[in-house]
Chain A
Amino acid sequence: MAFTRFMLVVAIFVIWIGGISVRLVNLQVTQHAWLKEKAQDIRQDVKQTRMLRGTIFDRNERALAMSLRVKTLYADPSEVADPDAFAGVVAKALKIDGSQLAATLKQAKEAKKRYIPLAKKLDEEVAQKLNRTLDTPELKKADLPNFAGLHWRDDQKRSYPYQTLGAQVVGFSNAEDDGKAGIEQSQDEILHGAIIKKLQERDRLGRVYDEETLYQRETPSDIVLTIDSAYQYITEQALENGVHAAQAKSGMAIVLNPKTGEILALANYPTFDPNTINEAAAENIGNKAIQSVYSPGSVFKIVTYGSALEKHLFQPEDKIDAGNGSITVANHTFSDHHTGTMSYADALAHSSNICAIKTGMRVGRDDFFSMIQKMGFGSRTGIELPAETAGIVRNPAKWNGDSLASMSIGYEIGVTALQIATAFATIANNGIRLQPHIIKEIRKPDEQPNVVTQTTQTQVVSPATARDLKTMLHQVVLAGTGKRAQLNGYTTGGKTGTAWKFNAKSKTIDSSKYVSSFTGMAPLDNPQIVVAVVMDEPKVGARDGGMVSAPVFKEIAQNILQEMKVAPDAPIKPETLEAKKVPEQPEKEVPEVGGTDKKAASASPDAATKPKVTGTPGKKNTPPDPKKTNEKKLNETDKITARSEPGSNRQRPVGENKTKVET
């Protein structure tokens, strides 16, 4: 009996355990695959995040472009039971059209879409506010917002805190985090934030308890530019003032350190704000300083005289005869208003075209072309900005009979502002040409920064040639066409340039439009900066480089050298040290003297004649009197008032002969 009961209990146990075992085998062997998949599906979540785009700094660690984490609100139509009710609530919170949202959701649900963006790139504050507004207390959801069908996605937003400052240099990136201009474009690969995939394990309440990175690319790098935001601001302000004063179409300015090739400032006006790129005019986005080609005019004479000095053809104090002010080369006559014998230094100072042509002819075609190439014209400088143009330099085999003469005075050649600045920097750096660059450092997080070192240096001209050229350029500023570029406390050298514009549509020279420029360096003995200023289509006054561009150079160079705390190497005029009290009562207004000195205004020394415009031998070809075209306009609208020189109480009338200006 006892044995029977015992066996009965054993049998019950065996059946019970057997049943459990069968069930276990069924779950863990037979249904293993789909149960595992379901468990993983519930527990695991793959999260994709894009790394923040690299930051662009100026040389003083000021952030010119940086990205912030923001959120994008999106709807998953598959989780929305009633699109109309959903749209009603959400549209009210987001202040959007509810009916359109409902239609979009229905369409997406039919198409089985899982992602409908509702509000893009919202910052944290707005996101928190929406979370509170859309909170559904009775719903238990793992992530925010606590509203069925709505989710947040991590996103990023690019900001440019300095707005228009250096806009063409920095560029901008679009909503997809792709660089579209400037450094943003050229360095897009190292700035670009790659996507990280992370596998997260969550509990039933959605809390993450384990995380594993599945895929991660190299972290984006930060870029430190050579640009100084203070110098950039000074340059942009001076350029803007100059463009407005000259009523020019546009302007560009470059400030270069000749010893290192670093670009300290690169400005274009008009400019744009990358934060509101949709409102920017397309023509303002391009970087004209490296993308726009123009005829340099008399500025190019440094190549002419430089190549002659290098061949020991003359010394600056040697004499050259400009004759009667005209010269005929290959049946084309060049002329200007300078006649008689003068020193080479004076010939450059007063920008005598005849002397430059004679010098160029002495140098010869091959040597002149060789110097053009060595100076960097006709090829890209290699700066780390996109879409740089090489300029236009024709092979000597394609030159005409008068091409050498034209090129000697800066025609039949196309250059960029950066190429001209680099050429002057070569002279300033004792004849050594350095590659200009705009990136100082490329910095990865937690790594040593990669400092950009100077790689290419070329001895273009000898130090003696460079010294002689600097002396001649100094004469330009002291007694020549560049007097308005004189600095207070610093010796300066430079060259003005005024050239007619080439009309690409009609393929002819447009003699009513000018490109006026001034490029210079300071202090002369040990130049710390080279500044190039180019004005496109100035409309005011004589419109030559000395009138419109030299004052801009002065403002830029004076302020930057003081900012750099460069020791003055010339006497400082005491008047500028005196604090001037603004009177309590304004001074009595005196009628302005509007000078219309046609003789002085028409004698624009840099406005070289284009050989192909007139072909009559012996006939003087003079540029049209810009005053005649603009006089009427000026009289109808505003007067030009020249500011007085420091220390002088005399107002200088417009159009007064430059030789009377105090130095």
Chain B
Amino acid sequence: MKKTRTATPRRTANKNRKTPTRWTTWVLMVTCGLMFASGFFFAGRQHFSSMDYGMKNSRLRRQIDELEAEKRRLLLAREVSLSPAEIKKAVRKVGLIDPSQNTGEMAQVVNSTKDKAVPADAQPMKPMIIKTAAVSPVRTAAPDPNLATAKLIKPGKSKPRAE
């Protein structure tokens, strides 16, 4: 006897049974794929943002170094301006008399030169700044006739002491 194939209701039933599973699988696969891809994007973003922060960090560090260097330069400039040599320059520039030149009561070498004598037609000196007691001009006294007076001799080769 020839076996005949039965009708396809069983195949149809099988077919109907497979359809919901296929959609679920596809959805699952897509979801996993999306998670996988987004992970890559996230990791990529982390990587490039860390590089970006690194560069910003490096720029800030360089800025700190530059500011430190600038601070030192300003500190040095301040110290230079406070140094006695610079103060003396400023004093001379302004035209004030340097008081350190007239301190002390030591014997000093003074040139007896003609240019110190006041010329007859000299204009009267303008009133100068009143000095404090620490700076007192040399006072000369009338000559004692009993003492031998030295002759006023012109200076030799030596130069006057720089003040």
Question: Contact: A581 with B130, CB < 8 Å?
Answer: yes
- Complex CA gap A503/B155 in Å reads 33
Let me know if A153 is at the binding interface, CB within 8 A: no
Let me know if A526 is at the binding interface, CB within 8 A: no
> Nearest chain-B residue to A211 (Cβ)?
B58
Let me know if B73 is at the binding interface, CB within 8 A: yes
Let me know if A207 is at the binding interface, CB within 8 A: yes
- Provided the pairs A161-B79, A551-B104, A582-B131 are in contact, do residues A68 and B54 lie with their beta carbons within 8 angstroms? no
Question: Contact: A165 with B83, CB < 8 Å?
Answer: yes
What is the CB-to-nearest-CB distance from B92 to chain A, in angstroms, rounded to a whole number? 16
Which listed residue, B76, B80, B108, touches A643 by the CB 8 Å rule? B108
Which listed residue, B79, B140, B149, touches A62 by the CB 8 Å rule? B79
Let me know if A242 is at the binding interface, CB within 8 A: yes
Question: Contact: A551 with B133, CB < 8 Å?
Answer: no
> Nearest chain-A residue to B81 (Cβ)?
A161
Interface centre among B76, B105, B107, B137 (most CB of A within 10 A): B107
Question: Contact: A591 with B137, CB < 8 Å?
Answer: no
How would residues 619 to 653 of chain A score, 1 for a CB under 8 Å from any chain B CB and 0 otherwise?
Answer: 00000000000000001111111111110011101
Let me know if B45 is at the binding interface, CB within 8 A: no
What is the CB-to-nearest-CB distance from A353 to chain B, in angstroms, rounded to a whole number? 26
Question: Contact: A208 with B58, CB < 8 Å?
Answer: yes
Instruction: List residues of chain B with CB within 8 A of the CB of A650.
Output: 141
> Nearest chain-B residue to A654 (Cβ)?
B107
Question: Contact: B58 with A207, CB < 8 Å?
Answer: yes
Let me know if A495 is at the binding interface, CB within 8 A: no
- Provided the pairs A238-B104, A579-B132 are in contact, do residues A590 and B140 lie with their beta carbons within 8 angstroms? yes
Instruction: List residues of chain A with CB within 8 A of the CB of B155.
Output: 637-638
Q: Looking at chain A's contact residues, is the secondary structure mostly helix, strand, loop, or mixed?
A: loop
Instruction: List residues of chain B with CB within 8 A of the CB of A639.
Output: 109-110, 112, 150
Question: Contact: A555 with B111, CB < 8 Å?
Answer: no
Question: Contact: B110 with A163, CB < 8 Å?
Answer: no
How would residues 140 to 163 of chain B score, 1 for a CB under 8 Å from any chain A CB and 0 otherwise?
Answer: 111110011110110111101100
Instruction: List residues of chain A with CB within 8 A of the CB of B144.
Output: 593, 653
Let me know if A259 is at the binding interface, CB within 8 A: no
Let me know if A162 is at the binding interface, CB within 8 A: yes
- Provided the pairs A241-B106, A638-B155 are in contact, do residues A651 and B139 lie with their beta carbons within 8 angstroms? yes
Instruction: List residues of chain B with CB within 8 A of the CB of A245.
Output: 106-109, 161
Interface centre among A63, A554, A555 (most CB of B within 10 A): A63
Instruction: List residues of chain A with CB within 8 A of the CB of B112.
Output: 592, 638-639
From 136 to 195 in chain A, residues with beta carbon under 8 angstroms from any chain B beta carbon are 159, 161-165
Instruction: List residues of chain A with CB within 8 A of the CB of B109.
Output: 244-245, 247, 540, 638-640
Instruction: List residues of chain A with CB within 8 A of the CB of B52.
Output: 209
Which listed residue, A242, A540, A649, touches B141 by the CB 8 Å rule? A649
Question: Contact: B104 with A594, CB < 8 Å?
Answer: no
What is the CB-to-nearest-CB distance from B96 to chain A, in angstroms, rounded to a whole number? 14
How would residues 547 to 580 of chain A score, 1 for a CB under 8 Å from any chain B CB and 0 otherwise?
Answer: 1000110110001000000000000000111111
- Complex CA gap A495/B24 in Å reads 112
What is the CB-to-nearest-CB distance from A269 to chain B, in angstroms, rounded to a whole number? 14
Let me know if B90 is at the binding interface, CB within 8 A: no
Let me know if B75 is at the binding interface, CB within 8 A: yes
Which listed residue, A162, A210, A580, A635, touches B83 by the CB 8 Å rule? A162
How would residues 581 to 608 of chain A score, 1 for a CB under 8 Å from any chain B CB and 0 otherwise?
Answer: 1101111011111111000000000000
Instruction: List residues of chain A with CB within 8 A of the CB of B110.
Output: 592, 638-641
16 sampled A-B residue pairs with Cβ under 8 A: A161-B76, A207-B58, A208-B58, A209-B58, A579-B131, A580-B131, A582-B137, A584-B124, A584-B126, A586-B118, A587-B140, A596-B148, A636-B153, A639-B150, A640-B109, A642-B107
B residues with CB within 8 A of A: 51-52, 54-55, 57-58, 61, 65, 69, 72-73, 75-76, 79-80, 82-85, 100, 103-112, 116-118, 124-133, 136-144, 147-150, 152-153, 155-158, 160-161
A residues with CB within 8 A of B: 52, 62-63, 66-69, 123-124, 159, 161-165, 200-201, 203, 207-211, 233, 237-238, 241-242, 244-245, 247, 540-541, 547, 551-552, 554-555, 559, 575-582, 584-587, 589-596, 635-646, 649-651, 653-654
Beyond A63-B79, A209-B58, 14 additional pairs, beta carbon < 8 A: A67-B72, A68-B76, A208-B55, A210-B54, A237-B100, A245-B107, A555-B105, A577-B133, A585-B124, A585-B125, A594-B149, A635-B150, A640-B107, A641-B107
